[in-house]
Chains A and B, each alone.
Chain A
Amino acid sequence: MKKAFVFLTLLAATASFATAQYKALPGKYAGSNTVTLFDSTGVYMEESGLSHVLNHKCIEMYSFKGCSDYSTYKIDYDPLSAYCNIERVLVHHDGGRTDTLLWPDRENNIPVYDYVAPARLIYWGSSQKMVEIGHLNLGDKLEVWTYKKGYTYALLQDEVPSLNSTFAALPNNEDRYVPPMRGHYYDIVPFWSNQPVQHKVYQLNILDSKNVQYKVYNGELEVKREAADEAGRSLYTFTNKEDIMPLEREPRALANNDIQCKLLLSTSPDWQAKSRWFFGVNEDYGSFKTTPEVQQKVNELLSGAKDEMDSISILTHWVADNIRYAGISMGPGEGFTLHNQQMNYTDRCGVCKDKASTLIGFLRAAGFKAYAAMTMAGERIDRIPADQFNHSVCAVQKRDGSFLMLDPTWVPNVRELWSSAEQQQGYLIGTAEGCDLMETPISPAENHYLRILGESAIDNDGTLTGSLTITAEGQSDASVRGIFATRQSEWRSNLELELLRVAPNAEIIDIQYSEPDGYLDHPISITYRYRIPYYATVDKNVITFIPLSARNLFRRAMGHLNFNLTPETRTQPFADRCSRLVDIRETITLPFEPKMLHYPMVDGIANPAASFGCGFQMEGNKLSFGEQAVFGKRLYEASDWPAFRASARAQVMVSETPVILTK
């Protein structure tokens, strides 16, 4: 009885603790970690393009997780081109008390830590400022003021102008904080959030002569324009019309900026202007000017080149494989200037833009016309010419005048010049004349086939003996070849695992594979010879089994099988890694000649987005099985989901449904 009482007490305590995780809230905020009561951003843009950004927000804690998340507050900046600071911090406690943690000219302020942020791969010295808020309770409200100056970063002024002062008197600007596209301003403002936001305001104080253009995507905002002062400035105010609630994202949905409300602003008149600027900034710096060492290397690499495309391929893959991805800072200009040939060839490392720069330098040394280009991996570029870029690539002009896109960052060990994982992606080439925004085309699924060919035999006790050969091309080749993108000591277990995952009792007799690192010579080919005891259920008159090749070996190259296929409909567009063709064939020799065949009844699907078909055929004691699935693109509309789902589900069904053969 005593024990039961203790147990019940503990249970009650646990239950009350559990309910205390969340504050009692009006329905729509239930389950949130925090609610942002207001989030106000004010931007004052100077003639030079230098911008001052003030932010003032207040966040209420609704769960212990929220309290924990805000036990520190951080902002990122690059000291080379921006200044930022956390200016004021208050904590309003639930009971009404307010703690002042940070306030100008006050003693006992908490320290503001300023340090180079932890980094891997990109070592540019990007910094952070941080304050330790400490312990917060449910219902506490954290109020923070921050200031930032620069194009993504900088200022050294002492006083923070108030948001209410309409940016009246600002100190002298400093040149290093002026954006590289001088006199221009752009911003991408998400009006979405992973936690509820009650009021979000974005204000821009800008000269009328800058002709700012803006557009709200995927939603509606309240927009107001008013005269800011007599100096020909306007104040634009963008406000959310209703609470910003976190979107329930469907799995594999496109980026938040593609499907949720965002505001784009830019003073750049069009993409051609941006293209001309990008061309100029790198040509002026001399990013692509060849050096004797580079020229010598290019001559050496192309000594056996057969034609134009062969030369482009040799140079692209040399850069992909020999300039490793690790970014070090060149100092001022880092982030938007492509490193020069001297740096690239000596350092043999860099980020995407430096790999692109190396390739451009190499191509120019070989007599090609090559240009730097910008793109946005994983997100759409909308028409307003804001800087919606996160990746740099190369464009080479062929003899016939057409442009060919090359991406040395995404093609190490990939049999492509432009990774088809970047199909349906916007890009902008930097040229002297100025280019418009363009989009990479869909890559046909047959360029990315995964083929599984099997030959097997079932004996009287159900043991399956045979061989399976896996071949692949394009992005599917890259996925299969990923097995070897590890230390050689790990290859054996990686290879074995692919078969053992579907048949744990398989005895692997042999695995042969083509040279993993010779990816340019031929598509990948892996052949297993195996024996699987008691694989099929055999009795006097019936054999039951699932063809081994149908059981989705090498799922690593079949991304469509990793989707949650349960929902019948979708409301959000979605993305796979790449278009793809799956082609499976197997011939199975049986211990007797069956008279009746029961096999999975799957409806064929024929749709431009995705299709599926499969078949079984008996001839004597041989059963032939074939299956083909086609997934036509990388980015899909929500309306493509039924065909995509049906095709993937059909493949799963065939992989799980036994064939029954009767004498």
Chain B
Amino acid sequence: MKKILFFAAIISIFNFQFSISRAQQPDAVYKLLRYEWTLNADGSSDYHYRHEVQILRNRALTAYADKGETFVVYNPDLEEVIINEVYTRQLDGSRVEMPQNAFVYQLPEECADCGRFNHMRELAMVHTGMELGCVIVVDYTIHRKYNLLYESLPIKRECPVEKMDVVVSYPKDMDVKWDFLGNQYLPDGGITRTTSIDEDNSTKHLQFSFINMPQSPHEPYMPSDIIPTLRLYNSIPSTHLPSTRNPSKNLPTL
């Protein structure tokens, strides 16, 4: 009888885990996420962004197609958006380029009902050629008339990230700082950080690579700072940075 009970318990645990494991499958995966800031000595900067995301579930297309559009909000007075490439790679390898009518320049919702912000723009890129298993590639650069760096970058996403690169290039006499919030929630290993200086000794490079980041957990009432966040900034006192927690007292300077 004891054996039967034990067997029943095993079955029950197995069934439970089977259901739950199915529930933990991702709906999409970022094959690559790349963020690159180049801070120029003339006071300008370039922000280069690229993502390659693969759709793993059909409902990700129809029920909550949050990968189906990419939005870039910018200030045309200070910023210019340059599209490098946007396309969808379908399962059979064919490449569907995004047509011109799928780039829509519109007012950001946040700027509605306000004349002073009426010049702000949101570039909506509506991805075409999407199908189950396709990879959406987005690559654009924003040229900025300023070189202020003030970024908070969540490391985990709602789906797994196979590779995430973060690169900051800046003049050697510029001070760039970084720190992590919630780094205790980062998985062990899978993170590398390198610094280098160009041969002509003029530019420094700070690079982070994150490999195989799992998707962020989804449970009710999760604190927002459970998602590890990389913060990057130049010439900004740390006390001015928004945070739900105190930043590290000993910030590394490069």
Contacts and interface: CB of A to CB of B under 8 A. Distances in A.
A493 interface: yes
B174 interface: no
Contact of A509 (B16, B65, B113, B128): B16
A348 B129 contact: yes
Nearest to B104: A123
Interface string B94-115: 0010010110111111011111
Tell which of A118, A320, A329, A495 has the most Cβ of chain B within 10 Å. A118
A113 B115 contact: yes
B64 A487 contact: yes
A619 interface: no
B26 interface: yes
Interface size grouping (class) on chain A: 35 or more
A128 B115 CA distance: 13
Nearest to B90: A348
Contacts of A71: 113
A347 B104 CA distance: 15
Contact of B19 (A116, A324, A348, A511): A511
B101 A331 contact: yes
A117 B106 contact: yes
Interface size class of B (residues with CB under 8 A): 35 or more
A480 to B, nearest CB: 15
A511 B15 CA distance: 8
Contacts of A128: 107
25 contacts: A116-B107, A118-B107, A123-B104, A128-B107, A132-B115, A321-B58, A321-B61, A321-B62, A326-B68, A330-B101, A331-B101, A346-B96, A349-B127, A349-B130, A413-B63, A484-B59, A485-B59, A485-B63, A485-B64, A486-B63, A489-B23, A489-B26, A489-B217, A512-B15, A529-B12
A489 B24 contact: yes
Interface stretch (B77-85, B118-126, B231-239): B118-126
A315 to B, nearest CB: 16
Contacts of A328: 99, 101-102, 104, 126, 128
Interface of B: 12, 15-16, 19-20, 22-27, 57-65, 68-69, 96, 99, 101-102, 104-109, 111-115, 118, 122, 124, 126-132, 158-159, 215, 217-220
Contacts of B61: 321-322, 324
Given A487-B64, A488-B27, 12 more contacts: A123-B106, A322-B131, A348-B128, A349-B128, A412-B59, A486-B64, A488-B24, A490-B218, A492-B23, A493-B218, A510-B19, A512-B19
Nearest to A334: B101
Contacts of B64: 485-487
B106 to A, nearest CB: 4
Contacts of B23: 488-489, 491-492, 495
Interface in A82-141: 111, 113, 115-119, 123, 125, 128, 130, 132
Contacts of B22: 488, 491
